[in-house]
Structures are given as C-alpha cells and as structure tokens.
C-alpha cells in the first residue's frame, strides 16, 4: 500500500495512491521519458536552475516538448514541498526533502516511432531525502565493480533504468553501497552516482560525454576545487588507477559527496575517509548554506537608503 503522499499529476494535486496513468503511456510501455531529482534543504530547492537546465537537455534529446516553464516547475515543487511537510506535521524548514520530476512523451497506441503531437505526462512527488548515515560518513562505504553493460546515451537522464537496476542489484547482493562500473577498462560511473578518484592531491573524474550522466555535482565540485585551490582533471581513468587511488568518492543528489573506503573487499588508500573528502564535504555544506540563505532569506534593500 502506497503512503498518502501529496503529488502532482497532469495538472492536478492529489495523493499518491490516487494518482493513475494510462496503461498506454509511453513511459510505461517504452520507458520513453526523462526525470530529475532535486534536493530540498530546509524547504529550499537546491541547484534548481541547474536541474532545470539538465531536464531541458534531456527532453530535447528525446524531442519531448517541455510542458512547463521554470517558474511553473518551481511553483509545483514548492507546493509539494509544503504539502509533504504538512503531511508529516513538521515545519517545512525542519526537514530535508527530495522532489522527483518525471515527464514522458504521453499516451498513444504502441508504436516505436516518436509520435508527434502528444500531450506529455507530468508527474511530480516530494518525499523525505534519505541521506547517508553518520556512520557512513565517518567510516566510508564499500563498493564492488562491474563492467558497464548499459547503453551509450548515459548523458540522458532517462526513465529507462533497467541497466541501473541490474547494476545496483550487484552491490545489494554483495552487501555494498554501490557498483562502480568500467567501460572498456575505463571508469564510467556507478549505478546511481558519479565516481571521483583522488591521487597525489588531485581530484579526477571521467570526462563529460555521452558515456556519463553529468551530475549536478560536477559543477559544484568544480566550484569547490576552484575556490579551495584543489587541482581537478576530467579525463579517462583506468581501472588500475581507481584501485590504486588515495581516495575514491561518490557524488549524487542524495549522497552529496561520500567516501568509498573498500572496493571489491580491498581498502582504498588508508581504508579511511581522506583529507580531500573532508575538504570537499565541508565546501559542499558551505554552498548549501549559501544557497539556502540566498533563496529562502534573500537580502532586501534598505528602504531608507
């Protein structure tokens, strides 16, 4: 039984158990759609503009018209954030949430071709944000490795996630937090995270191309590195380099930045979260605080000035 969470479906605000779509929706039939996941800290959407830009890129790749303006997306999300807080009895500023947006091509009889003129199906839900535990941040997490068997358009945030499901189950079966994947011997990403490698004080990540979903954390980590003087390189990273790294990190909307301390049963570096992780995590928290202050507590001009 689904919980009675407030959600939005095709123009109507309703409760999750009451939200229904057609069995001929192309998201259901083909996985023909895209999605976004936006963190919400203290009632404030985090990196809203960046998430909207990626949603727009994904929709354009699939030739699905964007059904809403950014202002309309913001209004829908804001109402659901307030609605979820009310459903828990908590003040909106006291809980962190996660807004999920999904847009599919719409409803039509089954045909592989991209049928034009359909009305996109729009679904939005806000729920509790499941952040890493204090123990995971203190001790790091374990990961396993696998070959990247997914398609070559990983830059699209598609709802066709069977590859990610299979990859994530590999780590679940092994009792690990994530599955780090390699394509032709080079690092791509994890099942639901981007992967970063630290060697000799340099933060390295795979290049931004069609083999990797460019997480919003790419730009955030680039900003932190720039302000803190941390060298950053985006390039092909071999499996051997990952296994010999001083530190390995995961990044995602829910994980933020998270240290990996064991891969395939072997320790990463010292086997403990490293100094660069500590700097990046602290920088990330500073950006969150700044973003919240700017969005939820904007500065106003002194009327007497």
Query: What order do you get walking across the sheet with 6-9 strand by strand?
Result: 12-15, 6-9, 121-128, 97-104, 33-41, 44-45
Q: Which residues pair with 122 in a beta bridge?
A: 103
Backbone phi, psi, residue 196, to 5°:
-130, 145
Contact 129, 90 (CB under 8 A): no
Contact 171, 195 (CB under 8 A): no
Whole-angstrom Cα distance, residue 73 to residue 82? Answer: 14
Contact 19, 9 (CB under 8 A): yes
Marked catalytic residue, from 79, 157, 208, 288: 157
Q: Is 157 a catalytic residue?
A: yes
Strand, coil or helix: 278: helix
> Does the CA dihedral 103-149-191-153 come out positive or negative?
negative
Query: Which residues are marked as active site?
Result: 157
């Amino acid at each position: 039984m689904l919980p009675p969470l407030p959600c939005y479906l095709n123009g109507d605000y309703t409760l999750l158990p009451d939200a229904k779509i057609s069995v001929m929706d192309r998201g259901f039939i083909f996985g023909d759609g895209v999605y976004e996941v936006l963190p919400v800290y203290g009632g404030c959407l985090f990196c809203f503009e960046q998430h909207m830009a990626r949603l727009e890129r994904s929709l354009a790749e699939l030739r699905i018209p964007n059904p809403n303006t950014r202002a309309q997306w913001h209004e829908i999300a804001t109402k659901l954030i307030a609605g979820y807080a009310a459903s828990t009895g908590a003040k909106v500023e006291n809980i962190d949430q996660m807004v999920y947006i999904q847009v599919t091509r719409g409803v039509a009889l089954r045909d592989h071709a991209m049928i034009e003129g359909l009305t996109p199906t729009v679904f939005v839900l806000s729920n509790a944000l499941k952040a890493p535990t204090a123990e995971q941040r203190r001790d790091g997490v374990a990961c396993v490795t696998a070959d990247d068997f997914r398609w070559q358009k990983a830059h699209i945030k598609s709802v066709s996630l069977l590859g990610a499901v299979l990859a994530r189950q590999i780590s679940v079966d092994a009792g690990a937090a994530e599955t780090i994947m390699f394509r032709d011997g080079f690092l791509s990403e994890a099942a639901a995270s981007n992967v970063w490698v630290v060697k000799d004080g340099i933060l390295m990540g795979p290049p931004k191309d069609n083999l990797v979903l460019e997480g919003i954390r790419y730009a955030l980590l680039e900003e932190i590195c720039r302000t803190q003087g941390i060298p950053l390189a985006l390039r092909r990273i071999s499996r051997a380099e990952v296994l010999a790294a001083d530190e390995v990190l995961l990044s995602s909307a829910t994980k933020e930045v998270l240290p990996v301390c064991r891969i395939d049963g072997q320790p990463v570096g010292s086997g403990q979260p490293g100094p660069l992780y500590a700097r990046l995590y602290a920088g990330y928290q500073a950006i969150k605080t700044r973003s919240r202050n700017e969005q939820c507590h904007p500065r106003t001009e002194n009327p007497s000035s």
